[in-house]
A and B are shown apart, each in its own frame.
Chain A
Amino acid sequence: MFEFLNSKFSDLFFKIKNKGKLSPKDLDDSLREIKLVLLEADVNFLVVKEFIENIKKKAIGENILESLTPFQQVIKIVNEEMTKMLGGASSSINFSQRIPTVIMLVGLQGSGKTTCSVKLASMIKSRYSKKVSLIAADVYRPAAILQLIDYSKKINCEVYHEDSNKNAVSISINGINMLRKSASDVVIIDTAGRLQIDTEMMNEVIEIKNKVKPHQIYLVVDSMSGQEAVNVAREFNDKLEYDGVILTKLDSDSRGGAALSINHVVKKPIKFASTGERIEDFDIFHPDRMASRILGMGDMLTLIEKTEKIIDEKKAKELEEKIYKSELNFEDFIDQLKSIKKIGSLEKVFSMLPMMGKNKALKNVNLDDKQLDRVEAIINSMTVQERRNPELINGSRKKRISDGSGTTVNDVNRLLKQFESTKHMLKQFSGGFNKRGINFPFPKF
């Protein structure tokens, strides 16, 4: 996400990067560019105006025009202001003392509430080891209840539903009573999508709030929303006073600007971000990281954290050792493949890397996860000995492997060649990697 902002900002800063000093006109020019970038990213017009004013004031106040590194200073200010706009420090969930902690999700139609309630349940379950259950309170959309039941099967959560009851309020009350008995720590209520101007529907959700008294209410917002998102968020907040926002569909390109402005205008934190189709594509929202990402530094922190979670440290040590001794074999290779797949699709991994927005060569590369599957199939068709000792693989073995994996001898050859060069490359890296430090393509400040 935010790639769009990302590449625009990179363009802009590349333009003024090489200047030693910024003239007042340079500053105005860059601020105008920033304004356009933000507007095209759906940040609300009024918020943009304020943002630009702030930056200008700061830039003048800090006398950056006189400084020797005005460019870095502008980035610093934009970064700071952006982080501020995104809500300052990141915030996590507050659980109630008495069980169950009740969380209600509300939002417009199609913002992603049902999907999010299951993803949120899964996250709370795995991260906080709580027993999480769901209440299906969307009685309007056809098959919405079924969707929730079906989707939550994947994470083994109990779903409370009443198929003949059309009253979302009583379903919620009954659900909580029932789920309290089954000792659920957390109960998530999935409500129907509604327009903020639909009085009848808003009254329904207000009534649920009054009767059930959820500990947390989250507004689910589509990250692709336009200028109007601010008004939607404001109106929902006036009626419900929610505690935070869940930002969805961040796997789309760019934007999310609307969410920045919601945060700014309604002053409620963005708590979680949903970034893909899979249940685990859901995470606590990190404003600071997102700001860095917008500025073209990529979402390295998220990537690093995700990798850490998945790659077991001991195994990593072993691997390092092997790389050093040049003993890397196909068994390690397939381990690595599997961990990459756990992080997410290749596209996602790449989008987290810094400066991808700028990299024209990569822009049109089709990152096909099927290729990984093919590689996996080839390796799976090798015997254990072949995996440990790739040198063994001769012509007839290649034929057998390619037949076994449904590929061609050419594919097998290509993989072997790639493997050799990877091995070679890794060996070179493993020596001086840390001493020299990773060279980020972005100035440090």
Chain B
Amino acid sequence: MFKLVNNLTYLWNKFKDRGNAEFWNSLEEELILNNVSVNTADFILSEVKEYCFKNSINSLNEIKNLIKGKIKEILECGNNWDIHINEKKPFIILVVGVNGVGKTSSIAKLAMMLQKEGKSILIAAADTYRAAAIEQIQFFGEKLNIEVIHHQRNSDPGAVVYDSIDKAFAKNADIVIIDTAGRMQTSANLINELKKIKRIVNKKNSRDPDEIFLVIDSNTGQNAKSQTEVFKEALDITGIILTKADSTSKGGIVLTIKHDLNIPVRFITYGERIGDISYFDPEKFVDLLVE
């Protein structure tokens, strides 16, 4: 996404004399190259374009601000998307996503962040499928001094969740974070398995998981929308953790996801170190995007 910053001025200088059409086309191209969907790009630009035309706006700065405003509108800047831990313990966070997006690392990062806020945390190692997934989360658990509830490999993930919540009651823990196995949104059986986990949480804790986060890799293209659609439909996800923001791809698809499906990004992770996570700041995102 951040590439747009430099390019806007460049494009403006290149095309301003050659008529506006090319300038707008190249803007659209830039958005699409940053994984914003064609529809969302059109939506943003067509309104800005019309406004510029009607009010004969012809300065780069004003156009910039208009585009910024449009994107802010989509991201609903000003809304507070932080986690609000309620009184009733334990607060349960379910983390889901397709394979290889960085669920386990994100959970470690999230756990550390919440730990810093003074919360006591348990992690449920409910990825019982992938080889060494349990060991990976245990490694982080040891590092952060957080207990990881786990069973044997290939055991029922639901049972791990069940035990974890029991344990949370026993230890009076504030938060339980559930790590799940990566699964493609196309696999109905595995999506059903997540629904079952959600039901178990509801049964044990008398309410659904308080937060259900879908983890999305910044490098993912338009398929991220399909992922969000399916996971939203199945689980009512409450937000997105955008990972690998330190890569050259900045996850412009989240604009489309917010616009089309109204699911906000809540956290962003940006590096290999365990501290490389923060609340997603749409304001900052937009400022970086269009400077």
Whole-angstrom CA separation of A150 from B38 in the bound complex: 43
- Please indicate the chain B residues that have their CB under 8 angstroms from the CB of A148 in the complex: 131
Q: Is the CB of A227 within 8 A of B38?
A: no
- Please indicate the chain A residues that have their CB under 8 angstroms from the CB of B132 in the complex: 143-144, 146-147, 150
The residue that A42 contacts in the complex, of B34, B129, B136, B223, with Cβ under 8 A, is: B223
Kindly state whether residue B6 has any CB partner on chain A within 8 Å: no
Tell me whether A141 and B136 are in contact in the complex, defined as CB-CB below 8 angstroms, given that A111-B100, A249-B100, A347-B186 are known contacts: yes
Q: Is the CB of B221 within 8 A of A108?
A: no
Kindly state whether residue A112 has any CB partner on chain B within 8 Å: yes
Q: Is the CB of B38 within 8 A of A40?
A: yes
Q: Is the CB of B219 within 8 A of A222?
A: yes
- Please indicate the chain A residues that have their CB under 8 angstroms from the CB of B140 in the complex: 142
Q: Is the CB of A228 within 8 A of B249?
A: yes
Tell me whether A146 and B222 are in contact in the complex, defined as CB-CB below 8 angstroms, given that A226-B253, A228-B248, A368-B188 are known contacts: no
Tell me whether A225 and B188 are in contact in the complex, defined as CB-CB below 8 angstroms, given that A45-B32, A231-B248 are known contacts: no
Q: Is the CB of B219 within 8 A of A229?
A: yes
Tell me whether A40 and B188 are in contact in the complex, defined as CB-CB below 8 angstroms, given that A143-B135, A197-B248 are known contacts: no
Query: B24-45: which residues lie under 8 A (CB-CB) from chain A?
Result: 29, 32-35, 37-38
Q: Is the CB of B102 within 8 A of A109?
A: yes
Kindly state whether residue B50 has any CB partner on chain A within 8 Å: no
- Total count of chain A residues near the partner, CB < 8 A: 51
Whole-angstrom CA separation of A146 from B132 in the bound complex: 6
Kindly state whether residue B99 has any CB partner on chain A within 8 Å: yes
Tell me whether A254 and B226 are in contact in the complex, defined as CB-CB below 8 angstroms, given that A228-B219, A232-B248 are known contacts: yes
Q: Is the CB of A226 within 8 A of B136?
A: no
Q: A232-249 interface mask toward B, CB cutoff 8 Å, 1 = contact, 0 = none?
A: 100000000000000011
Q: Is the CB of B101 within 8 A of A253?
A: no
Kindly state whether residue B184 has any CB partner on chain A within 8 Å: yes
Kindly state whether residue A39 has any CB partner on chain B within 8 Å: yes
Q: Is the CB of B223 within 8 A of A255?
A: yes
Q: Is the CB of A45 within 8 A of B217?
A: no
Q: Is the CB of A110 within 8 A of B102?
A: yes
- Please indicate the chain A residues that have their CB under 8 angstroms from the CB of B33 in the complex: 44-45, 227
Kindly state whether residue A196 has any CB partner on chain B within 8 Å: yes
The residue that A249 contacts in the complex, of B98, B222, B249, with Cβ under 8 A, is: B98
Q: Is the CB of A146 within 8 A of B135?
A: yes
Question: Other CB < 8 Å A-B pairs besides A144-B136, A226-B35, A226-B253, 12 of them?
Answer: A40-B222, A109-B100, A143-B135, A147-B132, A147-B136, A195-B248, A224-B98, A227-B32, A229-B219, A251-B184, A252-B226, A253-B185
